[in-house]
Structure 1
Amino acid sequence: MSLSTLKKRKVDSENRQFNNEWTEKYAFIAVDANPVCLICNECLAVSKEYNLRRHFNTTHAKFNTTFPPGSAARKQKISGLTLCYEQRRRILFRACTDQERATAASLRVAWILGKKKKPFTDSETVKECMLASIEEVVTDEKTRKSVIDSIRQIPISDTSNIRRVESLASDVFETLMDKLRKAEVMSLAVDESTDNSDVAQLCLYVRFYDGACFHEDLLGLIPLEGQTTGEILFAKISAFFEENNLDLARINMLVTDGAPSMVGRDQGLAARMAAVAPQMRSLHCLIHQSLLCAKLSGELKETMDSVMAIINFIRCTSSLQHRLFRKLLADMSAEYKDLLIHNDIRWLSKGNALKRFCELKEEILVFLQSSKLKKAGKFLSLMGNNEFNATVCFLSDVFYHLNQLNMELQGRDKTVFELVEKLRAFQRKLSLFSADLCPEKMLHFPTLRKSGLQITEVMSGFIDSLKNNFATRFDDFSISIPSLDESFLQLELIDIQSSDDLQQSLQQAGYEKFWTHVVSQEKFPHSRGLALFLLTMFGSTYTCESSFSHMNAIKTHNRISLTDQNLQHCLRIALSTYTPDFTALAKSKKCHFSH
């Protein structure tokens, strides 16, 4: 047989075992299946007697002379060496464990601070607070000293906190990626906004079924350096998906805010993504659409602008005037301490500002009467107009109902079908409001009824306009479904509809739990698959809008130098629904005590 045909020996396959006789013979013990010399602590790779004997004879030849084989002195020496080795090992293990615990504690502190959107430097403040609390609470001096020493060893400086935040964010992101890569379909909510340093940030939120429940989480926050065209947005999202080994073709719904760069017919993000994701549907955020239905025009817009002008006159003309108005409210024991400024970006702003204006009407009149500015006289004359006051009261009542709808549409874990149900219900309410808008009733217009002012044609026209706008946008609302075997689907749906138990379970559990936990995959594979496909879909960009609020709370003007990467890490921790394994993370790191 030639040498080339001989197989190399594999030591691992020979199952070599340590012989206990070698301990007294060569002063070796087995540690984690490897022989370790008790005299010099050298570890050999293979439990082979020849290797142990060679090491003993070449390195410790005098040991046999000093401690003859078989003698009591040799046994006592070997026993002492073994005991010393075990003690050293226990001390080392205890030190490593203490360091890991200190690191785990610092990870937990970083996680809590991240959830609360606090700066990195607050970790040092937390440590000071813990030490001060222990000083006061723990009365036993020995225990107090031990606890204080342990806390002082926790590495939670600002620089350590930055590293901890990065580790925690990476851990929850990997957890999300592992689950997302296994998902059959996913829904994507996309929106763009600028942070406090004028950097455009593209927010991606994902919704998917992970095999147990539906899950929504922040997918990414991507900075945009220059233009925010549909081409650039698509390139950024494509690069993100490719970098994280995600498949764009699995997206079944893309929800945007309706901006041209998002929904442009040819160059928009939705059009570009549809080319690579054939099953994808695109949707203009239903909350945004409901706001567009209530857009003011004509006389109503003029009235709204006048209200805002009065509010801005009181609050923004000068700091002195604003202080005097607030003092007047305090002197008159008003229910509120100030007026609210309207902001078009905030969904509830218009209704809240109108409501506050109506409730502080008497105080506003008193203040305008006391003012010597020319504008005050103009506004005072306007507020003496009954038609103006009636319109303001009407708008306050209408936008109260619109705000109630908006609040119902907001929130996490709401599917497109839940939102459509709320919108359809509001359409029926609009018919009720239309019939209620008459002098004998006005049950749903309490502010207007309390004022005792006349109903105008403009008011009735606006209710009719709302009805038409909602009908145009939502009456024919539908979502195309993927191709299925309709024959089996029809049979399954009949079985589900005919089952009293399933119908009762649907009422009790709700849509999501019904299709994920009640309906059997074996009995109803087609209907369950279709339901999961549709329930994965977002209905609004609420999650993105909410993320931007968190983003601005993190990257304040005091933290304007926060990098895009650290901003994304902080935002991920603040929003993630996953919790990292702190102990495992601590063990995977090089742990050190605080200096």
Structure 2
Amino acid sequence: MERWLIRRSTSKDTSTDITEASDDVNSEQPSTSSGNKGHDGHNAKTYSSCTRKPETSKNGKTLANQTSRLCSKDKRLFPTKGKRSTRTKAGDNTENYNSCQSSTYAVAYLFAQRKEAHTIGEDLIKPAAVAMCRAMHGEKVAGDLDTIPLSNDTVRRRIHDIADDIRCQLIERVKNVRYALQIDESTDISNSAQLLVFIRYSFDGRLHEDMLFCSTLEGTCTEDAIFTELDSKLREMGLPWDQCVGVCTDGAGAMLGKRKGLRGKIMQVAPNVNFTHCIIHREALAKARWLSRGKVLTHLYQVRDEEVRLFLLECGSTLSVHLCDSIWLANLAYLASIYEKLNELNLSIQGPNTNILTMSDKVNAFRGKLERWAVRSEEGNVEMFPLLEEFVEENELHACLDNIRGAIATHLRSLFDHFKKYFKEETTLQQNDWIRQPFTATGSHHQIWRMPCLNFRVMEPYG
């Protein structure tokens, strides 16, 4: 339809130009008497065609020079003028179409990021944007903005296009490089098992982490089902197993079983893959799954008098007596402090571009702190727990501290044993020090790489 409209407008412009050219011919032609007519009964000054044989006026002068000049002018200028108009209009339409497409993709990307309903694009966002543009820039800009398609189906298709494009770019990046996988299986709110796979790879001299795919597992979540889905996805994407250098999973038996688990299945197709147990998962197990209780305990300690105790008194609860017990409050202050430090450790080993070296260093350093804190607590020194120290100093409860320091030391040693259980000796500092300092590393825990000596011969100077 647009092409037809462009051609029609072009023909109209060309006809108008030819008419104007005919007027130019008539204006430049010498005037003749009204009685001088041609064979068709019209005035001799009217020409039906520029290629008609020139006529001779009464005074014997010919119009050959003027006619030939105007004929050449018509053939050269008039068609070119029409073509210029067509090209300009077609370019404007293409530019407007591309702008609308880009705008739609930009809005769809925001929808995907915010996880909003697609229907508000046409029901709310577009009318609001048009109203603002009409008020600030007038009807013309508002009309252009109103042509942007933001229907539910359009936004959905744009999001799928963006996802497909990102997926294609990711596959092209990792096709010819070595990569590592992080695999996790979980259950969503609809009680469906989801297999999530993340990939780490090197691109442009930097390590990148991206989600490779997320797929639903049908039936039971056995090691066979997990490996079948993982293997089919990698083959579909063209990623060979021999390029995989590492796999990170949680501690479930279906994942780490050397014979029947996922580890055994992968080792059959990629025997050189290095398997690791997720450090964040082990750290959560060592904390007895008290991942977020530090903030809860801290908030309870801060509002113990103003809000919690008064509320319990109004309700007639017997729990209010605990908020008047100095021993109980001292224990609460200690727990709030120690679990706040555990949460800080958990956050420090998360985030992009983390690696097993820095994560192991942080975990091992915290494990060493636990052992030293236990010794200092037995001596009555609690300055490493700021809430407990503040509570003791404000209420002058140094005698109370003598009653709980033994329990604090016992709890700290229990945490130390949990960390020692889930973080064994293979992740100690000596295991990977040859990577940190390859030229100064020594010891029996690693292999020393030596470059062959080069024999240089001293050459005699010339002359």
Normalising by structure 2, what TM-score? 0.71
1:181, 1:158 → 2: CA distance?
Answer: 35
What pairs with 1:277-426 in structure 2 (closer than 5 Å)?
Answer: 277-295=270-288, 348-362=291-305, 363-372=307-316, 376-377=317-318, 379-380=319-320, 388-426=328-366
**Match of residue 93 from structure 2:** 95
Q: CA deviation at 1:382?
A: 5.4
Cα 1:105–1:67 change in 2 (3 A) is: farther
User: Do residues 463 (structure 1) and 462 (structure 2) align?
Assistant: no
Identity %: 24
Picking from 151, 155, 160, the partner of 1:166 is 160
Which amino acid is 2:140 matched to?
A: S
Normalising by structure 1, what TM-score? 0.56
Q: CA deviation at 1:387?
A: 5.2
Which amino acid is 1:392 matched to?
A: L
Q: CA deviation at 1:68?
A: 8.2
**Match of residue 263 from structure 2:** 270
**Match of residue 5 from structure 2:** none
Cα 1:253–1:75 change in 2 (3 A) is: same
What SS is found at the alignment partner of 1:397? helix
What pairs with 1:136-175 in structure 2 (closer than 5 Å)?
Answer: 136-138=135-137, 144-175=138-169
Cα 1:194–1:366 change in 2 (3 A) is: same
Contact 2:374 2:410 in 1 (8 A): no
2:326, 2:214 → 1: CA distance?
Answer: 50
Contact 2:378 2:409 in 1 (8 A): no
Picking from 476, 482, 495, the partner of 2:425 is 476
Contact 1:437 1:445 in 2 (8 A): no
2:342, 2:268 → 1: CA distance?
Answer: 37
Q: CA deviation at 1:366?
A: 2.4
Q: CA deviation at 1:439?
A: 6.2
Which amino acid is 2:281 matched to?
A: H
Which amino acid is 1:200 matched to?
A: A
User: Do residues 225 (structure 1) and 218 (structure 2) align?
Assistant: yes
Contact 2:131 2:142 in 1 (8 A): no
**Match of residue 131 from structure 2:** 132
Contact 1:274 1:280 in 2 (8 A): yes
1:67, 1:436 → 2: CA distance?
Answer: 113
2:274, 2:74 → 1: CA distance?
Answer: 80
User: Do residues 252 (structure 1) and 252 (structure 2) align?
Assistant: no
Segment of structure 1 superposing worse, 157-166 or 76-85: 76-85
Q: CA deviation at 1:348?
A: 3.4
What SS is found at the alignment partner of 2:425? coil
Cα 1:84–1:190 change in 2 (3 A) is: same
Identify unmatched segments of 5+ residues in structure 1. 1-37, 40-64, 139-143, 296-343, 480-488, 498-523, 525-595
Q: How many residues align?
A: 367
Q: CA deviation at 1:288?
A: 1.4
Which amino acid is 1:107 matched to?
A: Y
What pairs with 1:503-514 in structure 2 (closer than 5 Å)?
Answer: none
**Match of residue 202 from structure 1:** 195
Q: CA deviation at 1:207?
A: 0.7
1:162, 1:67 → 2: CA distance?
Answer: 61
Which amino acid is 1:270 matched to?
A: R
1:202-256 superposed Cα distances (whole Å, 9 cap, x missing partner): 1111110124211111111112233211111111111111111111222212111
1:173, 1:384 → 2: CA distance?
Answer: 59
What SS is found at the alignment partner of 1:455? helix
Contact 1:438 1:455 in 2 (8 A): no
**Match of residue 112 from structure 1:** 110
1:28-67 superposed Cα distances (whole Å, 9 cap, x missing partner): xxxxxxxxxx99xxxxxxxxxxxxxxxxxxxxxxxxx996
Contact 2:377 2:406 in 1 (8 A): no
Contact 1:182 1:210 in 2 (8 A): no
Cα 1:474–1:348 change in 2 (3 A) is: closer
Contact 2:374 2:408 in 1 (8 A): no
User: CA RMSD of the aligned region, Å?
Assistant: 3.2
Contact 1:265 1:271 in 2 (8 A): yes
Question: Which fold has the larger relative contact order, with Cα–Cα distance below 8 Å and residues 6 or more apart in sequence?
Answer: 1
**Match of residue 182 from structure 1:** 176
Contact 1:436 1:444 in 2 (8 A): no
Segment of structure 1 superposing worse, 250-259 or 117-126: 117-126
1:476-500 superposed Cα distances (whole Å, 9 cap, x missing partner): 1249xxxxxxxxx99x943x99xxx
Which amino acid is 2:420 matched to?
A: A
What SS is found at the alignment partner of 2:354? coil
1:67, 1:220 → 2: CA distance?
Answer: 73
Contact 1:186 1:207 in 2 (8 A): yes
1:258-277 superposed Cα distances (whole Å, 9 cap, x missing partner): 22222233222222112212
Which amino acid is 1:84 matched to?
A: G
Q: CA deviation at 1:95?
A: 0.8
Which amino acid is 2:191 matched to?
A: D
Q: CA deviation at 1:158?
A: 1.6
Which amino acid is 1:112 matched to?
A: L
2:203, 2:388 → 1: CA distance?
Answer: 50
Cα 1:135–1:269 change in 2 (3 A) is: same
Q: CA deviation at 1:385?
A: 5.8
Cα 1:135–1:466 change in 2 (3 A) is: same
Cα 1:455–1:348 change in 2 (3 A) is: same
What SS is found at the alignment partner of 1:419? helix
Identify unmatched segments of 5+ residues in structure 2. 1-9, 12-48, 54-66, 429-433, 442-450, 452-463
What SS is found at the alignment partner of 1:120? coil
1:206, 1:221 → 2: CA distance?
Answer: 12
